Amino acid sequence: MRLCPLLLIAACLALWACSEKNEKSEPEAIGLPIAQSAVYVGRARCATCHTEEAAAYANSHHDLALQSVIPDTVLGAFDGSTLEHDGVTWTFRREGDDFLVETNESGSTIGHRVAKVFGVAPLQQYLVEFPGGRMQTLPTAWDSRPTEEGGQRWYHIYPDEHIPIGDELHWQGINQTWNSMCAECHSTDLVRGWNAEDSAFHTTWVEEDVSCEACHGPGSLHAQWAEAGGIEDAPPGLFLVAGLGDKDDGKWVTQAETGLPVRIPARSASAELDTCAKCHSRRRALTDGHAPGEPFLNGYEPSLLLAGLYHNDGQILDEVYVWGSFVQSRMHAAGVSCRDCHDPHSNQLVAQGNALCTQCHDSGTFDRETHYHHAAGTPGSSCVDCHMASRDYMVIDGRRDHSFRVPRPDLASVLMAPDACSACHAEGSSWAAEQIAEWAGEKTLPPHPGEILARVRAGELEALDELEGLIQDKSASDIMRATALFELGLRLEPPHMGTLIEAAHDSSALVRAAAARATESMPPESRAPLIGHLLDDDVRAVRVSAARSLASAPLTSLDPSLHAAHGRAVQEARNAELANGERPGSWLNLGVLEADLGHFEQAEQATRRAWKMDPDLAAAGVNLADILRMQGREEESREVLIKALERHPNNPSLHHALGLAWVRADNPEHAVEHLGKAAAWDPSDPRLALVHGLCLSQLERHGEAIFALENALQMAPTNGDLRLALIDSLRAQERWDEALTHGQELLRQRPEDARVVQLLREIQQNADR
373-396 pLDDT, tens digit each: 999 999 999 999 999 999 999 999
Q: Which residues contact 512 (CB under 8 A, 6 or more apart)?
A: 18, 22, 503, 504, 505, 506, 534, 537, 539, 542
Cβ contact 209:44 at 8 Å: no
The arithmetic mean of pLDDT across residues 606-625, rounded, is 96
pLDDT at 553: 96
pLDDT at 234: 57
How far apart (Å, rounded) are the C-alpha atoms in residues 433 and 410? 5
218 or 260, greater pLDDT:
218
How far apart (Å, rounded) are the C-alpha atoms in residues 46 and 56? 13
Is residue 17's pLDDT more than 50? Answer: no
Phi, psi at residue 731, to the nearest 5°?
-65, -40
Cβ contact 492:517 at 8 Å: no
pLDDT at 257: 52
Beta strand 110-118 with 123-129 is antiparallel
How far apart (Å, rounded) are the C-alpha atoms in residues 64 and 211? 10
The arithmetic mean of pLDDT across residues 187-206, rounded, is 94
657 or 464, greater pLDDT:
657
pLDDT at 13: 29
Cβ contact 384:366 at 8 Å: no
The arithmetic mean of pLDDT across residues 528-549, rounded, is 97
Percent of the chain whose pLDDT exceeds 70: 90
Phi, psi at residue 754, to the nearest 5°?
-60, -30
Task: Answer whether the bond into residue 265 is a cis peptide, omega within 30°.
Answer: yes
Distances (CA, A) of 730 to 323, 675, 707, 750: 51, 21, 11, 20
**Across the chain, what does the average pLDDT equal?**
89
**Band (267; pLDDT cuts 50, 70, 90):** low
Is residue 183's pLDDT more than 80? Answer: yes
Handedness of CA 696, 701, 706, 711 (dihedral sign): negative
The arithmetic mean of pLDDT across residues 690-707, rounded, is 95
Is residue 297's pLDDT more than 80? Answer: yes
Is residue 209's pLDDT more than 90? Answer: yes
pLDDT at 263: 52
Q: Which residues contact 702 (CB under 8 A, 6 or more apart)?
A: 696, 729, 732, 733
Is residue 23's pLDDT more than 70? Answer: no
How far apart (Å, rounded) are the C-alpha atoms in residues 160 and 157? 9
**Band (235; pLDDT cuts 50, 70, 90):** low
Task: Answer whether the bond into residue 261 is a cis peptide, omega within 30°.
Answer: no
754 or 183, greater pLDDT:
183
The arithmetic mean of pLDDT across residues 416-423, rounded, is 93
Task: Spell 364-375 as b/e; 16+ CB within 10 A means b.
Answer: eeebeeebbeee
pLDDT at 102: 97
45 or 38, greater pLDDT:
45
Cβ contact 580:612 at 8 Å: no
Q: 22-26, 409-413, 532-536: which has the minimum mean pLDDT?
A: 22-26
Is residue 5's pLDDT more than 60? Answer: no
pLDDT at 30: 33
Of 139, 147, 86, 85, the residue nearest 112 (C-alpha): 139
Distances (CA, A) of 694 to 5, 689, 697: 13, 9, 5
The arithmetic mean of pLDDT across residues 99-109, rounded, is 92
pLDDT at 233: 59
Q: Which residues contact 695 (CB under 8 A, 6 or more apart)?
A: 3, 659, 663, 668, 671, 672, 675
- 242: Cα separation from own chain's centroid: 24
pLDDT at 226: 84
Is residue 228's pLDDT more than 50? Answer: yes
Q: What is the pLDDT of residues 557-590, one digit of tens each?
A: 999 999 999 999 999 999 999 999 999 999 999 9
Q: 134-138, 248-252, 508-512, 672-676: which has the minimum mean pLDDT?
A: 248-252
pLDDT at 21: 31
Is residue 441's pLDDT more than 60? Answer: yes
